[in-house]
Structure 1
Amino acid sequence: MPSYTFRCSEGCHFDALFSMADVPTTTECRACGGLAKRVITAPHLSAAGNAAFQLLDHSARSAHEPAVVDRLPSRGSARPQRVTQNPLHAKLPRA
């Protein structure tokens, strides 16, 4: 639910949660009880992309529901080693 900022004539300001369909242009001020008008503010957008949110969701899920391993992975599931023919690659350290 979006958060909207309201400001009254006395200078009080507060945030309130309303659905986008039900947001009023004016409401009662929480501090002084006067009439508060909705203020146009910048939207609160996230800089994180979809991949970042998926990572956060996965780590939160794994903390509460860890994956249970009941056997070792089979040999067929390992990636095959790639062999290179480049002579310069022979000088690189092996992992």
Structure 2
Amino acid sequence: MATYEYVCSGCGPYDVALPMGGATPYRDCPECGGPARRIFSAPSLSRVGRALAEALDREERSRDAPEVVRDVH
């Protein structure tokens, strides 16, 4: 599902979750029922914290070259 942004002249902007490619240029406003036009905005991207990024990198590396334990401490 992708999130598409529409704006109603009376009610303002709102988001709609639709299948990829399922957005139309106009859609009925959920508040007033009037026409709302689709607007294009930057995609919503986020970054993960450093600790999580390092853990994900270790997990990805271990798929092809897992660390082998040679002795127990």
Q: TM-score range by the shorter chain?
A: 0.5 to 0.7
What is the letter of the counterpart of residue 78 of structure 1?
A: D
The residue that corresponds to 1:24 in the other structure is: 24
* Superposed CA RMSD: 2.8
Q: Which one has a larger percent strand, Structure 1 or Structure 2?
A: 2
Q: Residues 1-80 of structure 1 correspond to what in structure 2 (within 5 A)?
A: 1-48=1-48, 52=53, 54=56, 77-78=70-71
- Using structure 1 for the length normalisation, give the TM-score: 0.49
Which is bigger in relative contact order (C-alpha 8 A, separation at least 6)?
A: 2
Q: Which runs of 5+ in 2 are unaligned?
A: 58-68
State the Cα distance separating 1:48 from its structure 2 match: 2.7
Structure of greater Rg: 1
Q: Percent identity?
A: 31
TM-score, normalization by structure 2: 0.61
**Structure 1 residue 22: deviation in Å?**
1.3
Moved over 4 A (4+): none
Give the distance between the partners of 2:14 and 2:42, measured in 1 at CA.
15
The alignment covers a number of residue pairs equal to: 58
